[in-house]
Chains A and B, each alone.
Chain A
């Protein structure tokens, strides 16, 4: 049966390869001609625009929010605008582009037409042409009004469960582990850290395969038409393939560790699974779990995430396959295209951009913060002296009040038992232009531990406005109100939690309300 399948596949491949330029491509590619020549934009985009505040709120509640740099914003917006030069779109089409402060190599298009790219992506691309392909691909999703099924519901769920619980778990685990030993703890940490890295990258609502192909085709057309080097698209796919391979290896490693524990170390796995939503709920409500609990929760959360990934990954289209399809499309439609030299990024040595000094410093600071974060997570990744230097440099201008750099600084100072400096870093970030959920959460915990509820309440009020009343905030808001003795107000928020239909959130809210 298996050999027959391969026989049929080989036959199909041979047939496809036998007629130059006539290869049948993926479902989303046009049968002939370019996607751009056949694109028919929707007449009106006002309907999707209405969802923008909520979409931005959800994205802000992930990772460390958006990078608050007007210069970077100007630059990426400029690339997007250049891509649209050759497309006639209705006046209601208002795509936006934002850079998320996350180290993953990721691009996303939210249903309202906001293109999301990450700092990790900007760090790893080699020229503007690669960026143009990524933005072109996401722009195509916006033009076609593609969106993952139940995007808002799923993205909200991921923001609540992964953005809150998993990050908290990984960070708490890293701190708890200081000075402690034991295989379970080490493995639990490994799992938690892998999960934290994977969650932000993989656990986003996925588009369907045909939609991804269609976006690749139109994105490719947009970049070529705008005068970019088409080869850059393949280079992006190479990078994506590398990321996928690393993520798969990390998942396999974590899975193997969990299975080993399950078979040889008693019933840790089943115990972890039996913790269910309540375990994540306790994390959401901010209570620190014990080290034993941490191990169990890490395994449970990993399993939950793998299940979610498996569900979402059914439509995930491996980069290597996409690369083959793009190559066939380029061969069919652009074989005779004029070669162009890639445009340097404004932060590259070859750049003459006036934005070069600021953007170079910005990305260098984020990179330094990533190095410091690596040390905080694993002390073999550097030395106290190097980490201190990273933190000092990363929190200088132009990133002095950025949530990402200051949060990492706070983590480092906490590890170094300098709680005053740690708190000061969080305060700086909270007063900065884009405070993140992690910043609000950590600072609130500090105020609550001191019984300073007025300060905690003021912080939560600010977070509600900043994060578009994100459900991620609800358990902590309830906890703060309850601590301040405002019981009826706390209880009044519980029904709001139920409204989102996220079991983990409902449990966390009930727990925070003392139920």
Chain B
């Protein structure tokens, strides 16, 4: 029984990984931040980052390779669909951000904006230069 469950979960994971790879490849021509495809069986569309739900789209009918035109502090993603603009919760879609994640721009009065080697970004790396001490 456990083996069966494990196998099923394993297959599901392979399917997840395979579909993510395929979606990424299918949208190879798209530049910038992109919603690749629906991730969940249905995708809810909102009229604002903290707005109300205005529509639900089935996974198969959800558009692919759509540019992300806005990102809210609460992580919601804005995209166009059929000529209208909507916000989607990121967990409902597969997406690809171009380059690195958004810079962590904070109070840089004492921080540095310089690039660093290694596995982490520097505090303020990628942020606009401020009037700080560096």
Contact = CB atoms under 8 A, between A and B. Distances in A.
A27 interface: yes
B116 A374 contact: yes
A290 interface: no
A124 B104 contact: yes
Nearest to A196: B118
Contacts of A328: 40
Interface string A125-149: 1110000000000000000000000
B50 interface: yes
A377 B117 contact: yes
A352 interface: no
Contacts of A256: none
Interface in A335-365: 335, 339-342, 345, 347-349, 356, 360-361, 363-365
Interface of B is mostly: loop
Contacts of B134: 386, 389
A348 B124 contact: no
A20 interface: yes
Interface in B107-130: 107-112, 114-124
A281 interface: no
Given A9-B14, A21-B41, A381-B117, A234 B110 contact: no
B76 A231 contact: yes
A479 interface: no
Interface string A389-412: 110010000000000000000000
A96 interface: no
B107 A347 contact: yes
A124 B13 contact: no
Contact of A361 (B41, B97, B110, B115): B110
Given A6-B14, A232-B75, A368 B112 contact: yes
A361 B13 CA distance: 43
A186 interface: no
Contact of B41 (A6, A20, A250, A365): A20
A467 B76 CA distance: 45
Contact of A331 (B75, B91, B120): B91
Given A104-B120, A320-B17, A327 B110 contact: no
Interface in B66-100: 73-76, 89-92, 97, 100
Contacts of A239: 101
A345 B122 CA distance: 17
Given A13-B19, A242-B101, A371 B112 contact: yes
Contact of B118 (A6, A197, A345): A197
B38 to A, nearest CB: 10
A502 interface: no
A104 B110 contact: no
Indicate the member of A238, A325, A363, A368 with the most B CB atoms within 10 Å.
Answer: A368
A228 B16 CA distance: 27
B100 A335 contact: no
Nearest to A18: B41
B20 A25 contact: no
Nearest to B77: A231
Given A126-B104, A234-B90, A242-B101, A10 B18 contact: yes
Interface string A213-248: 000000000000000011110110011001100110
A6 B33 CA distance: 29
Contacts of B19: 13
Nearest to A363: B123
A321 B116 CA distance: 28
The 10 closest A-B pairs by CB, nearest first: A13-B15, A367-B123, A231-B75, A12-B11, A20-B41, A364-B110, A9-B14, A327-B91, A331-B40, A324-B16
